[in-house]
């Protein structure tokens, strides 16, 4: 029987803890934490993500401010909206929802976000601080992977962690966090689309994390028994069904037995 790392249950517990903490600080007279979100255009997946982020933030007690620009917004208009959020004292951190419409300079826009308000941790200064070993904020998805492993008391120190995907929002920062002395302390292998025969590496993994974006790419034959697998992928197969990068029914029998998560971890 496989151990399922229940990220949904853990996030629910974290949200409840956050709600209590925010209620206390607000009762003591502090302003609520403020989360801003800037969206450009009408990407359907982004609309769903943003709706959920705003809903959860509001439920936890955040003040939220959503700036929504049309698909045709110019670079100058997007940069102006970034400046608005940078200078809004009620917004303590904000997200520029990616992907941005084609034609916009994503690097310039992310670099215009004040590093102190960079809620996603994508600003070059914040990514650089992770490399330098003085992190201010971690990108959310890699931070979620580390938190999930901690909550289930799955050690990373001295383990071989294989990560598939080298995007700057998931795979690359996660590889640094896993290798870091104050972080995962793991031996890390980062694979990507230019690595032929990935099973050479995946079969050696104690922990495998996939952030590739290919439906059900990884099957039982890619792994050895007892491996811990975290599937970050959010994909749709040819029939339009939501699925991950991992062929879950195929790998499920390979993992160890269940234990509940600990949100305090």
Ligand X SMILES: NC(=O)c1ccc[n+]([C@@H]2O[C@H](COP(=O)([O-])OP(=O)(O)OC[C@H]3O[C@@H](n4cnc5c(N)ncnc54)[C@H](OP(=O)(O)O)[C@@H]3O)[C@@H](O)[C@H]2O)c1
Q: Which residues are catalytic?
A: 53, 97, 120
Closest contact distance (angstroms) between CB of 114 and ligand X is 23
From 126, 233, 255, 261, residue interacting with ligand X (rule: CB under 6 A) = 233
From 64, 141, 175, 228, residue interacting with ligand X (rule: CB under 6 A) = 141
Contact 139, 148 (CB under 8 A): no
Q: Residue 34: helix, strand or coil by DSSP? A: strand
Q: Which two structure tokens, joined as six digits, stand for 87?
A: 């200078």
Closest contact distance (angstroms) between CB of 140 and ligand X is 7
CA distance 34 to 64: 6
CA atoms within 13 A on the CB side of 213: 8
Contact 36, 93 (CB under 8 A): yes
Q: How many residues bind ligand X (CB under 6 A)?
A: 22
Closest contact distance (angstroms) between CB of 132 and ligand X is 23
Closest contact distance (angstroms) between CB of 87 and ligand X is 28
Please give the C-alpha separations between residue 218 and each of 13, 192, 198, 242, 245, in angstroms, as whole numbers: 30, 13, 10, 16, 6
Which CB atom, from 37 or from 170, has the smaller least distance to ligand X?
170
Contact string 153-192 vs ligand X (x = CB under 6 A): -----------xxxx-xxx-------------------xx
Q: Helix crossing, 140-151 with 171-179: angle to 10°?
A: 50
CA distance 57 to 63: 8
From 35, 60, 176, 211, residue interacting with ligand X (rule: CB under 6 A) = 211
202 binding ligand X? (CB under 6 A): no
Which CB atom, from 87 or from 237, has the smaller least distance to ligand X?
237
Which CB atom, from 41 or from 233, has the smaller least distance to ligand X?
233
CA distance 229 to 209: 6
Closest contact distance (angstroms) between CB of 171 and ligand X is 6
Q: Which two structure tokens, joined as six digits, stand for 226?
A: 């007892």
Contact range with ligand X by CB under 6 A, out of 74-82, 84-92, 119-127, 232-240:
232-240
47 binding ligand X? (CB under 6 A): no
The sign of the CA dihedral 205, 208, 214, 217 is: positive
CA distance 71 to 40: 6
CA distance 60 to 55: 9
Contact string 100-139 vs ligand X (x = CB under 6 A): ----------------------------------------
From 213, 243, 250, 254, residue interacting with ligand X (rule: CB under 6 A) = 213
> Where on the chain is the footprint of ligand X (CB under 6 A)?
141, 164-167, 169-171, 191-194, 198, 211-214, 217, 232-235
């Amino acid at each position: 029987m496989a151990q399922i790392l229940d990220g949904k249950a853990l996030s629910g517990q974290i949200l409840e803890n956050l709600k209590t903490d925010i209620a206390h600080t607000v009762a003591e007279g502090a302003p609520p934490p403020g989360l801003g979100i800037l969206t450009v255009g009408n990407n359907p997946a982004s609309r769903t993500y943003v709706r959920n982020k705003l809903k959860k933030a509001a439920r936890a007690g955040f003040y939220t401010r959503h700036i929504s620009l049309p698909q045709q917004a110019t670079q100058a208009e997007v940069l102006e909206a970034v400046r608005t959020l940078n200078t809004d004292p009620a917004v303590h951190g904000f997200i520029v929802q990616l992907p941005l419409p084609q034609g916009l300079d994503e690097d310039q826009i992310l670099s215009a976000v004040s590093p102190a308000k960079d809620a996603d941790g994508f600003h070059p200064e914040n990514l650089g601080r992770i490399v330098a070993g003085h992190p201010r904020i971690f990108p959310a998805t890699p931070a979620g992977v580390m938190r999930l492993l901690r909550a289930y008391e799955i050690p990373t120190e001295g383990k071989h962690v294989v990560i598939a995907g080298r995007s700057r929002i998931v795979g690359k920062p996660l590889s640094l966090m896993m290798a870091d002395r104050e972080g995962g302390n793991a031996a890390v292998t980062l694979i990507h689309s230019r690595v032929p025969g990935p099973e050479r590496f995946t079969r050696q993994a104690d922990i495998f994390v996939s952030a590739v974006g290919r439906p059900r790419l990884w099957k039982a034959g890619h792994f050895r028994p007892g491996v811990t697998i975290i599937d970050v992928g959010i994909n749709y197969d040819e029939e339009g069904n939501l699925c991950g990068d991992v062929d879950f029914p195929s790998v499920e029998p390979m993992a160890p037995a269940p234990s509940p998560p600990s949100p305090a971890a």
